[in-house]
């Protein structure tokens, strides 16, 4: 996002344009400064976790029975003999180049690992997001429009369960019932081993790749496998989105302009969807962006249950082996995704809400 | 005998509260023809509630009863939601207090006025647009073409209220309920807005209910005045008789106005007498 | 509060609480609390949540005396028994009674949640109240820190901390607390900002009270109620995070009857003996559901718009 883009979103009213330019530029600088400080903080926090907490990084790499000599060599190799601030600068420098060091588990650079596993999670999260948003928003609107009726209660119960149920448990139950019991969905894993090397990966998203390759049999297999984990993830997102939608809608429905629209004779449908809903759209984008980021959290647990070879499983594996480079790399990436999504929804807000133009 | 434009008999509204229902309107009755009726009363006396009850726009939790609530003989209380939608906007219009909140912030002025028209009158978009532009001119907006494309937050208060009048009166309703249409506005534009409202109402031959707590304004503007207190009508007067009011509440209200001809040290605050509330129910 | 209690004629407490007009600030405050309580218990869902939680706490306390089985004692002759009259929730792969283990597990879960609450609550309250009251650089730095912490979903942050600290219940509690204080701090700060300018704070300041004392005596008590509600609301999330850590093998370790760990070890028997994993999961859900219901109710009570 550049200052130019921000300014383009501002109406091109001549007389005020120079003033608006100034304001847009100032706002942009302010946002940029604040984001950089947050990112710096993010790096400091991960550095702190990696270097200052009790776990000895050297022992983590070499194992407990390393010789004194090997230990010292490793200390020097990792730069642990340098003063803390120097280590931090090096860490900053490397991280800014997306160099998170080598993974102990795979023996490859962490960045390379993350790039490899990320499409699996992206695909899962996106399908979940489509499901969760597509169901959550209408449910929330419906609940608000029928406040305190049985519809509202049903939506409330559905979302409460979504909030309260441990996602890994839902996943296990889902597997028992729909895979083992009914046979409606595919086995755990992302793709059948038979197809694994058959599919030319162009985007890394198997649903799309299989369609691009014209392999409907692979598509069916991939689809059958993604449905269950995506639905489980989507349930949590739906619970959150529907609740937020409901409360945003309730706020709008109590506004005077809603009375005005009713006084005009607008139908209930038009009042709810035509008048109130557009007014929450911008807020909803923030919520959807946020829940996209929270899906990453859900993915850590879901991927373990469904043997999904994605980001979440990579992180858990790294955790269990105390592979700190990989853990911190993953953590940092999640933080950056979070910040980026926040920033994007902020920009969206500025562009699409006429009140902020 | 022809039916009056609006007939209200023993209209009661109650809201659920911590201890059962609490009354917001305690049985008000009046009729209205092609005239301008003012409703005055202090804050909380039930003026807005009365206006909204007539349009059946109170929140669902409100309990509304009446012996009669009729528009030109048509029973409003018994009407279906479907029928009410035709009546709202089409037969009865409502002007709200503050255009800053009463206009949808995300829709342009033009879209909001056209929507009003097209709900009640079949026709093409082009027709609706022409009518909308004409209506903006009728409410004396100087540059209708430009204003059409503006969003509510880009309007001044006076312009906003003109837009609201245009929006609500474009389907030519027969009854207009204006709920404090000028109290959110700058003093300097209040007169203009009332003029515009008056002109439109007279041009369309509609009846008007003007809700306000501004006594002099109402007595200037209206033919008849209802004085409300505590959900009841204290008394009903011809507007020019307001200064000869007989009910102690009205007298107290009158007395609380700052006199224009001499300075006073202290404004008189009306003192309330609990018997006023029981009187009318007898 | 230090003022002496108003003397009450016996039996009139109810009337005193219900009097239409309060005759002292104390009565007004008591009445507000009373009305809130009334509204909370008339809210059926919140009341149900409260009751279930009370029952759970009781069970967690007296559980060991209710069951004839031991929590660790293995009996391979009865392994993987489905629910029956002897074993209401069946037995696990080592022949341990699952109900017994769930009862013991309730202790662990509730204890972890309580520990996180007493660690993260006060930290968040202190940081937020101080930042809101003092303003200036402390506020800027503290809120930046909060922003940084909030840039991570809480499970991810807790995972990173656990990875560094090593697995185990204590470390899980520390890790979850570290990820749970920032939202509380943000809330406390917002509250503190609203009272900072009030007259009585100014009066206390003029009397020469130190900032430290002002924050402790005047600002923190004001922030406390909303912090308590917020912690209750977050409790469900805390429990899910703790169970998630247990499930991933980073929290409580296997022989422990922690629910997440039980679920993880029951997982391999999912297809043949569903009750091994199904029951601890249901227990987790029950607790977090109760906290959610109670939290929702508390929020409704405190939000005047829901009158
Ligand atoms: N949604 C509601 N729920 C409960 N009580 C309400 C509600 N709306 C209005 N009331 C009550 O009804 C009474 C009448 O309110 P109303 O808004 O009609 O007064 P008003 O005369 O229009 O006052 P104002 O001059 O301030 O606009 C008040 O006592 C108010 O508390
Ligand atoms: Mg009113």
Per-position b or e across A57-67, b if 16+ CB within 10 A of its CB: bbebbeeeeee
Nearest to A324 by CA among A14, A148, A80: A80
Q: How many CA atoms lie within 13 A of C27 on its CB side?
A: 16
Phi first, then psi, for residue C255 (nearest 5°) are -60, -20
Q: Is the pLDDT assigned to residue B70 strictly greater than 70?
A: yes
Question: Does any domain span residue C225?
Answer: yes
pLDDT higher than 80, residue B34: yes
Say what the pLDDT of residue A57 is: 65
Q: If you measure from the C-alpha of residue A340 to the centroid of ligand 1, how many angstroms do you get, rounded to a whole number?
A: 46
Q: What is the pLDDT of residue C284?
A: 92
A209-233 per-position pLDDT tens digit:
888 877 888 888 888 888 999 999 9
Unique residue bearing structure tokens 């949540």: C49
Q: Is the pLDDT of residue C20 over 70?
A: no
Tokens 């959900």 locate to B231
Please count the other Cβ atoms lying within 10 Å of the Cβ belonging to residue B134: 12
Look at residue C11 and tell me if it is in a domain.
Answer: no
Residue B279 has pLDDT above 50, yes or no: no
> How many CB atoms are located within 10 Å of the residue C85 CB?
5
Instruction: Tell me if C70 is assigned to some domain.
Output: no
Among chain C residues, the shortest Cα distance to A161 is held by: C289
- Atom of ligand 1 lying closest to residue B52 CA: 18
Q: Which range, A272-276, A323-327, B43-47, B187-191, has the best average confidence (pLDDT)?
A: A272-276
Do the Cβ atoms of B86 and A265 come closer than 8 Å?
Answer: yes
Residues with CB under 6 A from ligand 1: B 15, 24, 41, 43-49, 59, 213
User: Cα A312 vs. chain centroid, distance in angstroms?
Assistant: 11
Instruction: Kindly provide the ipTM of the predicted complex, given to two decimals.
Output: 0.87
User: What value does the mean pLDDT of chain B take?
Assistant: 85
C28 belongs to a structural domain: no
Provide the token pair at B14: 């109650």
CB nearest to A169's CB, from C166, C236, C281: C281
Question: What pLDDT sits at residue A133?
Answer: 94
Predicted confidence band at B258 (pLDDT cuts at 50, 70, 90)? low
What pLDDT shows up at residue A7? Answer: 36
In this complex, do C270 and A328 lie within 8 Å of one another by their Cβ atoms? no
Instruction: Look at residue A352 and tell me whether its pLDDT is greater than 80.
Output: no
**pLDDT value for A54:** 59
Residue B95 has pLDDT above 60, yes or no: yes
pLDDT in tens, C256-291: 888 988 888 888 887 777 788 888 899 999 999 999
Q: Is the pLDDT of residue C67 over 80?
A: no
Residue range A350-354: average pLDDT?
Answer: 73
**Cβ atoms C239, C246 nearer than 8 A:** no
| Cα-to-centroid distance, B49 and ligand 1 (Å) | 6
**Any bridge partners for residue B36, and if so which?**
B208
A261-265, A333-337, C268-272: which has the minimum mean pLDDT? C268-272
Contacts of B140 (CB under 8 A, 6+ apart): B162, B192, B196
Mind giving me the DSSP string for A202-258?
A: SSS-HHHHHHHTT-HHHHHHHHHHHHHHHHHHHHHHHHHHHHHHHHHHHHHHTSHHH
pLDDT in tens, B147-186: 999 999 899 888 999 999 999 999 999 999 999 988 888 8
**Alpha-carbon distances, residue A3 vs A21, A26, A80 (angstroms):** 9, 9, 41
The Cα-based distances of C110 to A164, C104, C117, C173, C243 in angstroms read 15, 10, 10, 12, 11
Domains in chain A, please, with CATH?
Answer: 20-96 (no CATH), 110-356 (1.10.3720.10)
CA distance, residue C152 to nearest chain A CA (Å): 5
Please report which confidence band the pLDDT of residue C233 belongs to, taking 50, 70 and 90 as the band edges.
Answer: confident
List phi, psi (to 5°) of B117.
Answer: -65, -45
Q: What is the mean pLDDT of residues A177-183?
A: 82
Give the integer Cα–Cα distance in Å for C174 and B253: 66
- Give the residues across from A102 on adjacent strands: A109
Q: What is the pLDDT of residues C73-99, one digit of tens each?
A: 666 676 667 777 776 777 777 767 778
CA B165/CA A129 separation, integer angstroms: 44
Spatial neighbors of A268 by CB under 8 A, at least 6 apart, are: A145, B81
pLDDT of residue C80: 67
Atom 12 in ligand 1: which residue has the minimum CA distance?
B24
User: Does residue A320 contact residue C249 with C-beta atoms inside 8 Å?
Assistant: yes
Is residue B113 over pLDDT 90?
yes
CA angle B80, B82, B86 (to 5 degrees): 115
Atom of ligand 1 nearest to the CA of B97: 27
Q: Is the pLDDT of residue B195 over 60?
A: yes
Kindly identify the ligand whose nearest atom is closest to the C-alpha of B96. 2
* Lowest-pLDDT range of B128-142, B265-279, C195-209, C228-242: B265-279
- How many angstroms separate the CA atoms of C286 and C243, rounded? 13
Question: Residue A160 above 60 pLDDT?
Answer: yes
Q: Which pLDDT band holds residue A4 (cuts at 50, 70, 90)?
A: very low
The pLDDT of residue A6: 34
Query: Given its phi and psi angles, is residue C3 left (phi above 0), alpha (psi -120 to 50 degrees) or beta?
Result: beta
Angle, CA of B251, B254 and B258, to the nearest 5°: 145
Per residue in C1-15, pLDDT (tens digit) is: 444 444 444 557 777
Helix axes A277-305, A216-253, angle to 10 degrees: 140
Cβ(B69)–Cβ(B76) below 8 Å: yes
Strands B6-16 and B68-71: antiparallel
Q: Please state the rounded mean pLDDT for residues A72-93.
A: 78
From residue C172, how far is each of C96, C117, C148, C163, C238 by CA, in Å?
Answer: 25, 13, 20, 10, 11
pLDDT of A298: 86
Assign A135 a pLDDT band (cuts: 50, 70, 90). Answer: very high
Confidence tier at B280 by pLDDT (50, 70, 90)? very low
Angle at C246 between CA C240 and CA C250, to 5 degrees: 120
Check pLDDT > 90 for residue A62. no
pTM equals 0.84
Q: Which of A127-131, A212-216, A267-271, C137-141 has the lowest mean pLDDT?
A: A212-216
Residue A305 DSSP symbol: H
Give me the mean pLDDT over the B225-237 stretch: 87
Residues A327, A333: Cα–Cα separation, whole Å: 10
pLDDT of residue A100: 80
pLDDT tens column, C170-179: 889 998 998 8
Residue C238 lies in a domain: yes
- Angstrom distance (rounded) from CA A95 to CA C82: 53
Average pLDDT over residues A172-183: 84
C1 domain-assigned: no
Query: Please, what is the average pLDDT of chain A?
Result: 82
pLDDT digits (tens, 9 = 90+) for C104-137: 888 888 999 999 999 999 999 999 888 888 888 8
Mutate-to-test residue for ligand 1 from B17, B26, B38, B45, highest number of ligand atoms within 8 A of CB: B45
Q: Could you tell me the distance, in angstroms and rounded to a whole number, from the CA of residue B47 to the centre of ligand 1?
A: 8
In this structure, what CATH number is given to the domain that contains residue C121?
Answer: 1.10.3720.10
Structural domains of chain C, count: 1
User: Strand B36-41's sheet: what is its strand order?
Assistant: B92-95, B175-179, B207-211, B36-41, B224-229, B232-238
Nearest CA to ligand 1 atom 7: B15
Close Cβ partners of B172 (under 8 Å, ≥ 6 residues apart): B204, B206
To the nearest whole Å, the CA of A15 is away from the closest chain C CA by 37
Residue C87 inside a domain? The answer is no
Tell me, in angstroms, the distance from the centre of ligand 2 to residue B43's CA: 7
For residues C129 and C220, the answer to whether their CB atoms sit within 8 Å is: yes
Task: List all chains that touch chain C, counting a touch as 3 or more CB pairs closer than 8 Å.
Answer: A
Ligand 1 atom 16 nearest Cα: B46
Smallest Cα–Cα separation from A177: which of A232, A233, A138?
A232
In this structure, are residues C92 and C73 in contact, taking their beta carbons and an 8 Å threshold? no
Cα A308 to Cα A126, A188, A190, A349, B186: the distances in Å are 14, 7, 6, 34, 65
d(Cα B58, Cα B70) in Å, to the nearest integer? 17
Distance of CA C105 to the CA centre of its chain: 16
Its domain, for residue C105, covers 38-64+100-306
The closest ligand to the CA of B53 turns out to be 1
Q: What is the mean pLDDT of chain C?
A: 80
Whether the Cβ atoms of residue C7 and residue C28 lie closer than 8 Å to each other: no
Contact A328, A273 (CB under 8 A): no
pLDDT in tens, C28-48: 777 777 777 777 777 777 888
A108 closest CA partner among A337, A304, A318: A318
In-domain check, residue C72 = no
Residue A346, token pair as written in the block: 């902020």
pLDDT digits (tens, 9 = 90+) for A8-61: 333 334 445 556 667 777 877 888 888 888 888 888 888 888 776 656 667 666
């Amino acid at each position: 996002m550049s200052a130019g883009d921000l300014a383009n979103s501002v109406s091109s009213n001549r007389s005020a344009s120079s003033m608006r330019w100034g304001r847009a530029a100032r706002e942009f600088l302010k946002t940029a400064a604040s984001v950089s400080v947050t990112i710096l903080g993010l790096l400091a926090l991960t550095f702190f976790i990696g270097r200052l907490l009790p776990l000895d990084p050297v022992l983590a790499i070499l194992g407990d029975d390393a010789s004194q000599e090997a230990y010292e060599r490793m200390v020097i190799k990792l730069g642990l003999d340098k003063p803390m601030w120097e280590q931090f600068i090096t860490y900053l420098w490397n991280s800014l180049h997306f160099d998170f060091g080598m993974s102990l588990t795979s023996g490859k650079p962490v960045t390379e690992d993350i790039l490899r596993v990320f499409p699996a999670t992206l695909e899962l999260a996106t399908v979940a997001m489509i499901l969760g948003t597509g169901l959550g928003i209408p449910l929330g609107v419906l609940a608000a429009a029928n406040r305190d009726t049985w519809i509202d209660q049903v939506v409330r119960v559905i979302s409460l369960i979504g909030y309260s149920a441990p996602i890994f448990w839902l996943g296990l139950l889902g597997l028992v019932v729909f895979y083992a019991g009914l046979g409606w969905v595919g086995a755990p894993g992302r793709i059948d081993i038979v197809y694994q090397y058959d599919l030319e990966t162009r985007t890394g998203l198997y649903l799309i790749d299989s369609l691009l390759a014209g392999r409907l049999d692979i598509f069916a297999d991939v689809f059958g496998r993604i449905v269950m984990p995506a639905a489980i993830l989507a349930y949590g997102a739906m619970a959150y989105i529907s609740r937020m939608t409901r409360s945003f809608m309730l706020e709008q429905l109590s506004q005077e302009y809603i009375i005005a629209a009713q006084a005009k004779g607008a139908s209930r449908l038009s009042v709810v969807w035509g008048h109130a809903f557009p007014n929450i759209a911008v807020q909803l984008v923030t919520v959807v962006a946020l829940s996209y980021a929270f899906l990453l959290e859900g993915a850590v647990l879901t991927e373990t249950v469904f043997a999904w070879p994605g980001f979440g499983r990579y992180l858990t594996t790294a955790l269990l082996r105390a592979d700190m480079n990989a853990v911190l790399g993953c953590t940092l990436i999640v933080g950056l995704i979070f910040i980026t999504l926040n920033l994007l929804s902020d920009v969206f807000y500025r562009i699409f809400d006429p009140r902020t133009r | 005998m022809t039916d009056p434009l609006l007939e209200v008999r023993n209209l009661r509204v109650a809201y659920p509260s911590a201890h059962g229902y609490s009354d917001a309107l305690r049985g008000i009755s009046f009729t209205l023809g092609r005239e301008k009726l003012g409703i005055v009363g202090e804050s909380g006396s039930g003026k807005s509630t009365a206006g909204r009850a007539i349009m059946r726009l109170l929140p669902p939790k409100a309990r509304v009863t009446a012996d009669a609530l009729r528009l030109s003989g048509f029973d409003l209380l018994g009407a279906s939601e479907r029928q009410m939608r035709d009546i709202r906007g089409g037969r009865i219009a409502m002007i709200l207090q503050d255009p800053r909140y009463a206009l949808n912030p995300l829709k342009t002025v033009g879209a909001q006025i056209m929507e009003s028209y097209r709900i009640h009158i079949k026709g093409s978009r082009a027709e609706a647009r022409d009518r909308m532009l004409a209506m903006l001119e009728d409410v004396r907006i100087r540059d209708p073409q430009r204003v059409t494309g503006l969003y509510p937050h880009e309007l001044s208060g006076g312009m906003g209220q003109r837009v609201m009048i245009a929006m609500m009166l474009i389907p030519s309703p027969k009854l207009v309920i204006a709920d404090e249409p000028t109290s959110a506005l700058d003093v300097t534009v209040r007169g203009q807005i009332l003029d515009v409202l008056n002109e439109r109402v007279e041009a369309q031959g509609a009846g008007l209910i003007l809700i306000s707590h501004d006594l002099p304004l109402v007595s200037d503007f209206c033919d008849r005045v209802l004085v409300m207190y505590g959900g009841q009508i204290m008394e009903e007067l011809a507007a020019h008789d307001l200064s000869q009011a007989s009910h102690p509440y009205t007298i107290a209200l009158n007395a609380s106005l700052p006199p224009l001809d001499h300075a006073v040290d202290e404004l008189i605050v009306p003192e309330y007498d609990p018997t006023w509330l029981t009187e009318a129910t007898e | 509060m230090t003022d002496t209690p108003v003397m009450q004629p016996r039996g009139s407490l109810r009337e005193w609480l219900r009097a239409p007009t309060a005759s002292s600030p104390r009565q007004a405050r008591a009445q507000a609390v009373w009305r809130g309580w009334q509204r909370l218990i008339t809210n059926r869902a919140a009341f149900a949540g409260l009751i279930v939680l009370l029952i759970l706490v009781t069970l967690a306390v007296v559980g060991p005396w209710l069951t004839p089985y031991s929590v660790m004692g293995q009996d391979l002759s009865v392994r993987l028994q489905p629910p029956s009259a002897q074993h209401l929730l069946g037995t696990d792969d080592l022949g341990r009674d699952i109900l017994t283990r769930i009862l013991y597990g309730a202790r662990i879960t509730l204890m972890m949640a309580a520990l996180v609450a007493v660690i993260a609550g006060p930290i968040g309250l202190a940081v937020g109240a101080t930042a809101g009251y003092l303003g200036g650089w402390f506020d800027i730095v503290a809120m930046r820190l909060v922003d940084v912490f909030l840039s991570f979903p809480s499970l991810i942050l807790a995972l990173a901390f656990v990875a560094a600290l090593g697995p185990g219940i204590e470390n899980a509690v520390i890790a979850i607390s570290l990820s749970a204080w920032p939202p509380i701090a943000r809330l406390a700060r917002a509250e503190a900002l609203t009272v900072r300018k009030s007259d009585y704070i100014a009066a206390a300041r003029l009397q020469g009270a130190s900032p430290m004392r002002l924050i402790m005596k005047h600002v923190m008590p004001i922030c406390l109620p909303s912090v308590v509600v917020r912690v209750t609301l977050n409790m469900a999330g805390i429990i899910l995070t703790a169970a998630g850590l247990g499930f991933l093998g980073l929290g409580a370790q296997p022989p422990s009857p922690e629910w997440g760990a039980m679920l993880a070890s029951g997982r391999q028997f999912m297809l043949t003996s569903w009750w091994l994993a199904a029951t601890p999961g249901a227990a987790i859900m029950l607790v977090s559901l109760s906290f959610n219901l109670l939290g929702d109710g508390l929020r409704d009570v405190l939000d005047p718009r829901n009158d």
